[in-house]
Amino acid sequence: MTNPVLAEGLGPFALPDFAAITDADFAPAFDQALTEARANIAAIAANPEAPSFANTIEALEQAEGLLDRVAGVFYNLSGADSTPAREALMRDLAPKMAAFASEVTMNRPLFARVERLWEMRESLELTPEQARVLELYFKMFVRSGAALQGVDAERMTEIKERLAVLSTAFSQNLLADERDWFRPLAEDELEGLPDFVVAAAKAAGAERGQDGPVLTLNRSLIVPFLQFSSRRDLRETAYEAWVARGANGGPTDNRVIAAEILNLREERAKLLGYDSFAAYKLEPEMAKTPENVRDLLMRVWTPAKARAEADAAKLTAMMHADGINGDLEAWDWRYYSEKRRVAEHDFDEAALKPYLSLDAMLGAMFDTANRLFGLDFRPIAGPFYHADVRGWEVSRKGRHIAVFLGDYFARPSKRSGAWCSAMRSQKKLGGETRPIVVNVCNFAKGDPCLLSYDDARTLFHEFGHALHQMLSDVTYQFVSGTSVARDFVELPSQLYEHWMEVPEVLEKHARHWQTGEAMPKALLDKLLAAATYDQGFLTVEFVASALVDLAFHEGAAPADPMALQAQVLAEIGMPKAIRMRHATPHFGHVFSGDGYSSGYYSYMWSEVMDADAFAAFEETGNAFDPATAERLERCILSVGGSVPADAAWMAFRGKTPGVEALLKGRGLVEA
Ligand SMILES: [Zn+2]
């Protein structure tokens, strides 16, 4: 009998045969798929014919077809519905998959063929998409070090290995510092804390074998403690312990590790021929250069700092009215800000929930996609991979577009957070393949399931990613759907969130699940007003971290990262009562791996674009303007990575993204 993971799919949409697949099927399926992929790669590399786009790039595109199918099913299941067997297989697979990936990029004869094609690219008569795919393959090889020879190649391997060791140590030190520090709270030290914070502190105490409540450095406990504790002395102790993570001296200190990481990154970038690590990292991004990143951050910094300083003056006055003289300190901000929020923006968030049932919000989400892109959604029967999963066929004017699966409820077998994945990606090479796209969330299951406002935004956010996959219309999987620059990939998702807040969408869909009444306007207005609260503080702490990240990776690596951090903060005039969102010794985004190194800015970059992209609709006076929606699909959602991000953006918007819409959205300038 054939392994059901390897089999062609079932039914009209060729879905994986979930009912037949067992955990025992995965390991042999991976073995067979890896063997097949290796044989395919070896055949391409050894092909006696001269390299052509078809026998090299298109062959590479198809070499891992079976592996894609197996991995598509397995990695979705291991994230959304794990079992001990799946976890064990994940651990086994991590080194195997990494080894396979580096075998491909370090395969010299294979690289020689890609390089030859790159050199002859002008004479190959490629379509624009083919030219782009060739460029991306070539750069993937070069950026991973395939072009290096002799001692340089050896040194590159050493650097990569050492960086992997250092980033793991950085994460583990951080975890150790977070785990080891706790402080028992006596009865009189609970002053000001609401019940949910006391309960969380008691739970943390029980976890640590303590009798009573304890304070820990877990973000979900320490942030509410800083918001609510009226004991200024304890807030100071807690805050200083929190920001000292990774900088406590001894074996868990991350400062020396950070310096070594920055040195090795610089050396790696230089070996590859770049001026700096930032230049290397930003090359494939929409931002392209450190100058572009700094320019954007500084345009946001100035109004954000002005807003934060005005807010600081108000909070200082509140503190003085409490009889505490002197300056507002970092451990005072959240406390007085919370008091001010209650005075200015208090409302009962729970009162919103009956209007935000999951079914109502799914209706809103699908209706929006129908009005913008003409998509129809028809429920289809499973079985899917879990009883909670729901499926829809997505079509347009009767033409099949995709299968969409929604897996919305939290369960112990699901990792936390929310995400979108393609179990099968769109492509046309080897025959039109339409995608299977999954959205996974962690909403509390209920009957009915009622969402918080944040949950509803998450629902729309992940569906924006899903549309990017479903509307993809490219030939090559390498550039399909969300295979775009990191600082571009959140544009479709963050943009889609805007439609949830369009008044007519809420009026039509945000209906009380029992009475069918529309959400009261006053409730909604309060919620929207509260959304911009304290954005001066949040923007300042974020931008400061992003600027330090950038400075670390430009030019020569600093001998003392802490000194450079201090210098950057002094230069921008960091307000006294606000510190970086992540200081160097616990800046995991930058040092626990390469993902967001020289890339922390990208969250804000995406926000600038989503705000400006939605402004394109608003400027027409119609949030569903058909011409703008058509342009969005044609220029951005359908092209994936086949067009560079900046060109896709320019085709859609006709001008570079401005920060004005973001500043208005965050309430940093008058709307
Ligand atoms: Zn996202």
Cα–Cα distance measured from residue 15 to residue 441, given in angstroms and rounded to the nearest whole number: 21
CA angle 221, 223, 225 (to 5 degrees): 70
Return phi, psi of residue 377, to 5°: -125, 125
* Matching residue, tokens 């209920």: 446
Residue type, position 478, single letter = F
Q: Domain holding 497: CATH number?
A: 1.10.1370.40
CA atoms within 13 A on the CB side of 458: 20
Q: Give the contacts of 559 (CB within 8 A, at least 6 positions apart).
A: 259
Q: Is residue 24 part of a domain?
A: yes
| CA of residue 463 to ligand 1 center, whole Å | 9
Q: Is 260 a catalytic residue?
A: no
CA of 461 to the centre of ligand 1 (A): 6
DSSP strand pairing (214-216 vs 376-380): unpaired
Active-site entry in 129, 266, 462, 607: 462
Look-up: residue for tokens 């208090």?
346
Within a domain: 158: no
Residue 338 falls inside a structural domain: no
Question: Distance, CA 462 to ligand 1 centroid (Å)?
Answer: 6
Question: Is 196 part of a structural domain of the chain?
Answer: yes
Which tokens go with 23? 């955990």
Torsion of CA 131, 135, 136, 140, to 10 degrees: 150
**Which one of 199, 215, 244 terminates a domain?**
244
Beta pairing partners, 516? none
**What is the residue-wise DSSP string for 591-650?**
HSSSTTTTTTTHHHHHHHHHHHHHHHHHTTT-TT-HHHHHHHIIIIITTTTSS-HHHHHH
What is the phi-psi region of residue 642: left when phi exceeds 0, alpha when psi lies from -120 to 50, beta otherwise? alpha
Rounded to whole angstroms, how far apart are CA atoms 482 and 479?
8
Instruction: Find the 418 Cα to ligand 1 centroid distance in Å.
Output: 8
Q: Which of 553, 562, 545 is nearest to 600 (CA)?
A: 545
- 286 closest CA partner among 543, 630, 612: 612
- CATH no. for residue 133? 1.20.1050.40
Residues 493 and 545 in one domain: no
- Find out whether the peptide bond into 383 is cis, omega within 30 degrees of 0: yes
Phi, psi of 433 (to 5 degrees): -115, 120
**How far does residue 469's CA lie from ligand 1's centre (Å)?**
13
Same domain, 537 and 600: yes
What does DSSP say about strands 399-409 and 436-443: parallel, antiparallel, or unpaired?
parallel
Q: Are 100 and 136 in the same domain?
A: yes
Both tokens of 51, joined, read 């390299």
> How many whole angstroms from its chain centre is CA 264?
26
Distance 230 CA to ligand 1 centre (A): 36
Considering the domain architecture, whether residues 314 and 353 belong to the same structural domain is answered as: no
Secondary structure string (H, E, C) spanning 276-335 = CHHHHHHCCCCCCCHHHHHHHHHHHHHHHHHHHHHHHHHHHHHHHHCCCCCCCCHHHHHH
Q: What pLDDT is recorded for position 111?
A: 97
Number of structural domains the chain divides into: 4
Whether 472 maps to a domain, the answer reads yes
CA distance 222 to 216: 7
Domain extent for 212: 181-244
Distance, CA 493 to ligand 1 centroid (Å)?
6
Strands (E), 425-526: 436-443
Nearest to 542 by CA among 666, 372, 379: 666
Residue 101 lies in a domain: yes
**What pLDDT digit, counting tens, does each position of 389-433 carry?**
999 999 999 999 999 999 999 888 888 789 999 999 999 999 999
With CA atoms as reference, report the closest residue to 148 among 265, 280, 273: 273
Is pTM beyond 0.85? Reply is yes
Residues in CB range of 383: below 8 A, 6 or more apart: 18, 19
Residues of the chain with pLDDT under 50: none
The domain boundary, picked from 244, 260, 275, lies at: 244
Q: What's the CA-to-centroid distance between 394 and ligand 1, angstroms? A: 21
Which stretch of DSSP H or E encloses residue 419?
strand 419-424
Q: Please list, in sequence order, all residues whose beta carbon lies within 8 angstroms of the beta carbon of residue 17, skipping any fewer than 6 positions away.
A: 4, 7, 9, 10
Quickly tell me which residue has 């910094």 as its tokens. Answer: 301
Asked if 352 and 465 sit in the same domain, the reply is: yes
466 and 435 assigned to the same domain: yes
* Cα–Cα distance, 528 to 514 (Å, whole number): 24
Domain co-membership, 216 together with 250? no
How does DSSP assign 437-458, residue by residue?
EEEEEEEPP-SS-B--HHHHHH
Give 295's Cβ-side CA count (13 Å radius).
Answer: 9
Would residue 152 count as lying in a domain? no
pLDDT at 503 (0 to 100) = 87
Q: Which of 244, 266, 286 is the last residue of a domain?
A: 244
Question: In whole angstroms, what is the distance from residue 667 CA to residue 165 CA?
Answer: 43
User: Does residue 250 sit in the same domain as residue 285?
Assistant: yes
Sign of the torsion angle spanned by Cα atoms 128, 491, 655, 302? negative
CATH of the domain at 647: 1.10.1370.10
Q: Please give the distance, rounded to the nearest whole angstrom, from the Cα atom of residue 201 to the centre of ligand 1.
A: 31
- Domain assignment present for 174: no
Is the separation of the CB atoms in 62 and 476 below 8 Å?
no
- The reply to whether 462 and 513 lie within a common domain is yes
Neighbouring-strand partners of residue 406? 390, 439
Q: Token pair for residue 339?
A: 């008091």
How far is CA 631 from each of CA 397, 468, 479, 488, 647, rounded to the nearest angstrom? Answer: 19, 14, 19, 17, 13
Residue 573 burial by Cβ neighbours in a 10 Å radius (0-12, 13-18, 19+): exposed
- Rounded-to-integer distance, Cα 538 and Cα 194, Å: 23
Same domain, 551 and 514: no
- Centroid of ligand 1 to alpha carbon of 206 (angstroms): 35
Residue 179, pLDDT score: 85
Same domain assignment for residues 75 and 199: no
Same-domain pairing of 373 and 419: yes
